[in-house]
Amino acid sequence: MVGIFLFRAKKIYLYGYIIKLMESQLWEAVFKFNLDEPLSEYGFSTRLENENYWPANFAAKAIVEYKKFMYLAAISDEMVSPSVIVDIVWHQHLIFTQSYDAFCTVLGKRIAHIPSTHTKSDFALFDRAKSRTEKLYKENFGVQPAEIWNAEDIYAPLSMNRAKSTIEKRIGIAFGLLIPLFAVAYYLLQPLYIRIDNPYFIEGYSGVFLISIISLEVYNSGRVSKIIKQWPQNSFVFNLAPLELVYLKSNGITPVIHGVVNNLVANKNIRITSDEKLITDDVANINNPAMFCAAQAVAANPGISYPALVNLLKLKPAFNKTVRSMDALKAHIRNSEQLIRIFDLNFAILYVVLLLGLVRLATGILREKPVTIIIGFLVVFALIAIGYLYRLTTIITTYKIPAFYKDGITPTDPEYDTWDWQYFLLGSAVFVWSFAPLTTYVDNNTFFTTDTSGSGSSCGSNCGGGSSCGGSSCGGCGSD
C-alpha cells in the first residue's frame, strides 16, 4: 500500500511539474509575442499611445499587463476580468484582427470579449471574475501594479483634481473687477501719493515689485516640490521616455525630430548629400517606430530638404503621439486645483502691485505731472508679470520634471548610455557634425517650420472593424 501511495504521489508531482513547465513555456511565448509586427508608421503601440494620450513607457507597461491577463485567461477554465486600462489595450488589439488571431493561436484558445449588460446578475458575475483574476495574478505574477489594475485612468494616481474654473476665466473676472477696484484704490491712495515725489516712489515701487517676485519664487518652488513629492513613485510621470522629456523641456516637437534624424544619420540609415539633401542608405534593421517613420519619409521623398522633412514628420502619428501625450499632461496639471491655487496667489499679488502703479499713473495725469517714467516702468513690470505667470503655468512640466530626471541620473549608469538619454542630457552636443548645421538652419528659420500638432491616423490591411463594446462596459472574457 505504501508503495502504491508513493507511486501515485510521484505521478501527481510529475503531472504538476509538467503542467507548470507547459505554462512557463506558454507565458514565455505570450511575453515574446510582438504586437507591433509588422513594423509600420501607425502600428499597434503608436496607435495605442496616440489615441489614448499615453506616454510610451506607460503604454508598453499596459501591453505587458494585457499579455499577463490574456495568459491568465488561457490557463483558466473560468472567466477572468480586465482592469479599465488593460481593457483599453484589449479593445485596441481586437481592431488588429490578424495580430489578434495570431495571438490567440499562441494562447492555444480563442479568447472572446464579453461586454457587460450592467444587470444585477452581470455585476455579481464580473465581481467574482475580478476577484478570481486578482487571485490568479498573485499566484502567477505577484502583486498587481496599482497604476494599471486599480486606476480608472492614467492620471488617477496623481490625485490632482480638476479645478472648477480655468485660469483664463479667473483672469477674465479679475479684469472685469479692474475698474471698481481701481476706483477704490484711487480713493484710498491718492491723498498719500500726492505727498510722495519721484524718484522716491519709483525706487520704492520697484523694490515692492522685486520683493514680490522673489518671495513668490521661493513660495512657488516649495509648493511645486511638495506637489511632485506627493505623487506615487509608480506614477507614469516618473517613467517618461527621454524624447518625451525633450519635448517637455523645449515645448516643441522639432527638437524631438532633430534627435531621431540625428540618430539615423549616426547609424548611417540616412545620408546627407553634398548639397544638404537627405537620402536613405540602409533601413533594414530599424525597429523603432519614430525612426522607421522618419526613414520611410526620406525613402519616399529622396533628396528631400531637412526643413521639408521636419514639417512632414510633425504630422506623423509616430511623432505626434509625443505631442498629444505630453500636452495632455501639461493640461491636466495646468487645470488642477493644486496649480490653480498657486496661480491665484501669484496673480493676486502681482495684480495688486500693478494696481498700485496704475493709481500712481492716474494721480500724475490728473495733476498734470510728467508720467513718462512711470508709464515705462509699468509697461516693463506688466511684461515681466505676464511672462512670470505664464512660466508658472508650465513650471512643473517644462522645468521641474526635466530637472527631476537630470538630478537623478548618474551619467556613468549603463541604463542611460543610449542615444536618446544622451540627447536629453547633452542636447545638440551629440549631433553628428554634418547634421548640426541643418538643425541650426531649421531652428533659426521658424518661418519654414511650425510646431503645429496633428493627429492623423491610418489603418493598414491588418485592421478590421471596431471593438464590440465601450471600455466602461467590459467585464471579462471567455474562450471558445
Q: What is the pLDDT of residue 341?
A: 95
Out of 34-38, 177-181, 444-448, least confident range? 444-448
Q: Is the pLDDT of residue 478 over 50?
A: yes
Residue 4: pLDDT over 50: yes
Model pLDDT for residues 110-144, shown as the tens digit of each residue: 998 877 655 555 667 777 888 899 999 999 999 99
Of 456 and 476, the structure prediction assigns the larger pLDDT to 476
Tell whether the model's pLDDT for residue 228 goes beyond 60: yes
pLDDT at residue number 472: 39
Cell numbers of 39, please? 513594423
| pLDDT beyond 90 at 458 | no
The pTM of the full predicted model, rounded to 2 decimals, is 0.85
Three-class HEC string of the chain: CHHHHHHHHHHHHHHHHHHHHHHHHHHHHHHHCCCCCCCCCCCHHHHHHHHHCCCHHHHHHHHHHHHHHHHHHHHCCCCECCCHHHHHHHHHHHHCHHHHHHHHHHHCCCEEEEECCCCHHHHHHHHHHHHHHHHHHHHHHCCCCHHHHCCCCCCHHHCCCECCCCHHHHHHHHHHCHHHHHHHHHHHHHHHHCCCCCCHHHHHHHHHHHHHHHHHHHHHHHHHHHHHHHCCCCCHHHHCCHHHHHHHHHCCCHHHHHHHHHHHHHCCCEEECCCCEEEECCCCCCCCHHHHHHHHHHHHCCCEEHHHHHHHHCCCHHHHHHHHHHHHHHHHHHCEHHHHHHHHHHHHHHHHHHHHHHHHHHHHHHCCCCCHHHHHHHHHHHHHHHHHHHHHHCHHHHHHHHHHHHHHCCCCCHHHCCHHHHHHHHHHHHCCCCCHHHHHHHHHCCCCCCCCCCCCCCCCCCCCCCCCCCHHHEEEEEEC
What is the structure's pLDDT at 208? 93
Per-residue pLDDT, averaged over 205-230, amounts to: 94
Q: How confident is the model at residue 460 (pLDDT cuts 50, 70, 90)?
A: very low
Average pLDDT, the chain: 86
Evaluate if residue 31 carries a pLDDT over 90. Answer: yes
Domain ranges of the chain: 33-153, 155-453
Once rounded to an integer, what is the mean pLDDT over residues 359-366?
88
Quick one: pLDDT at residue 462? 40
